[in-house]
């Protein structure tokens, strides 16, 4: 049985923890076991089923993100010590790759890095030492392309591949049926919403800007932002715009919900107005619940959804186009049902848990076979 040492600097990201849980469940069938390193122990780790007995806490793991690229030798040495007997380092995101790269070189353990983030410029890829990676995984072809372009192409001997995330459909459905603690949205009109971290990349402000046109065409339509803002300033900016547009009674912000799926299941239209997003897990979760989706045609989203068939794709930053697509679906229940059903079918056939796990463990096996050179 081979062992992977898995690092994640931000264990508050529920979607990534769910992906790790998928790998943890599948690991024995592929001849692997998983051990985890996080900067802190959060209740969310228990909620997502990350095993305590295979988890180590290393506060300095998040130091690279907090201190703008400062490496601390004790953190690297501790990681190298934890890697004794491991067969591969797996950096779940770029942010822990510098530490894993150095620790892996010390412990003579190959490193695999997952480029979940897509950056707007090459500097961030270089900052996180992607050019030193020999085993690279990306969640979409678009994300892999951006990473390669940032480096001027991957060098000889680099093993790079796409691993499309899957989704545990039965689990999402079970959680959606658990209405305990469900957030109530005032009103009775059609419900339009987005779900996830409400940061500038997900662009919740665009849905707010589209709301007047949506409500003018479909009176009584309600808007819900399911999730939390990353900081007080970004939340204040969106709330100020909601007030300026006179939408105080029409737009609800739930804050973080441990289980958002009972509310997601009630959405008449799921919106994802992102500026960029490599392969949004929030959309896979919406597909699992057969929600009709309107999303920006950015990042890996066009790889997820077939425009006009399993979702509607609109240009980013275009509130009018977003509103038009949403209104069209709100006015046509039959089309909503057909698109939602097609989204679920696409998830079941193209983005499976088994396919995701097989690709990931194949990458681990190849990294071990190639060694640390």
pTM, full prediction: 0.87
Same domain, 341 and 249: yes
Angstrom distance (rounded) from CA 92 to CA 128 = 13
| CATH assignment at residue 175 | 3.40.50.2000
Same domain, 149 and 185: no
| Per-residue pLDDT reduced to its tens digit, 224-240 | 999 999 999 999 999 99
pLDDT band at 132 (very low <50, low <70, confident <90, very high): very high
Contacts (Cβ under 8 Å, ≥6 apart) of 262: 175, 176, 177, 178, 179, 182
Same domain, 157 and 293: no
Same domain, 42 and 185: no
**Residue 316: which of 275, 263, 268, 279 has the closest Cα?**
275
Same domain, 138 and 285: no
User: Residue 152 sits in which domain range?
Assistant: 2-165+352-370
**Residue 201: which of 273, 127, 305, 115 has the closest Cα?**
273
Same domain, 301 and 177: yes
CA dihedral 47, 49, 54, 58 (to 10 degrees): -30
Same domain, 90 and 229: no
Same domain, 301 and 358: no
Contacts (Cβ under 8 Å, ≥6 apart) of 243: none
Enumerate the β-bridge partners of residue 293.
270
Same domain, 46 and 101: yes
| Per-residue pLDDT reduced to its tens digit, 289-326 | 999 999 999 999 999 999 999 999 999 999 999 999 99
Average pLDDT over residues 152-156: 91
Residue 129: helix, strand or coil by DSSP?
coil
pLDDT band at 49 (very low <50, low <70, confident <90, very high): confident
Same domain, 179 and 48: no
What is the number of domains present in the chain?
Answer: 2
Same domain, 159 and 77: yes
């Amino acid at each position: 049985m081979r062992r992977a040492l898995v690092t994640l600097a931000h264990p508050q990201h529920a979607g990534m923890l769910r992906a790790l849980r998928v790998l943890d469940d599948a690991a024995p069938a592929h001849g692997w076991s998983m051990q985890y390193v996080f900067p802190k122990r959060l209740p969310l780790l228990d909620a997502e089923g990350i095993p305590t007995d295979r988890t180590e806490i290393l506060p300095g793991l998040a130091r690279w993100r907090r201190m703008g690229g400062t490496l601390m030798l004790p953190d690297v040495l501790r990681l190298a010590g934890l890697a004794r007997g491991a067969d591969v380092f797996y950096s779940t995101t770029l942010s822990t790759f510098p530490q894993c790269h150095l620790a892996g070189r010390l412990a003579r353990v190959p490193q695999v890095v997952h480029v979940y983030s897509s950056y707007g410029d090459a500097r961030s890829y270089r900052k996180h030492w992607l050019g030193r990676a020999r085993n690279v995984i990306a969640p979409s072809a678009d994300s892999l392309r951006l990473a390669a372009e940032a480096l001027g192409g991957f060098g000889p001997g680099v093993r790079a591949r796409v691993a499309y995330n899957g989704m545990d459909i039965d689990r999402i459905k079970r959680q959606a049926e658990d209405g305990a603690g469900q957030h109530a949205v005032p009103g009775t009109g059609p419900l339009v919403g987005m779900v996830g971290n409400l940061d500038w990349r997900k662009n919740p402000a665009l849905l707010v800007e589209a709301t007047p046109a949506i409500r003018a065409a479909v009176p009584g339509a309600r808007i819900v932002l399911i999730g939390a803002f990353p900081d007080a300033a970004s939340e204040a900016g969106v709330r100020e715009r909601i007030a300026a547009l006179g939408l105080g009674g029409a737009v609800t912000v739930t804050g973080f919900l441990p289980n958002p799926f009972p509310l997601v299941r009630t959405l008449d239209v799921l919106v994802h107005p992102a500026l960029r997003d490599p392969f949004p897990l929030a959309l896979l979760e919406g597909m699992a619940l057969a929600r009709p989706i309107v999303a920006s045609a950015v990042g890996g989203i066009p790889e997820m959804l077939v425009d006009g068939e399993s979702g509607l794709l609109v240009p980013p930053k275009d509130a009018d186009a977003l509103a038009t697509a949403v209104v069209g679906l709100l006015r046509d229940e039959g089309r909503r049902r057909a698109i939602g059903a097609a989204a679920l079918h696409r998830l079941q056939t193209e983005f499976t848990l088994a396919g995701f796990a097989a690709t990931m463990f194949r990458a681990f096996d190849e990294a071990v076979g190639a060694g640390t050179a």
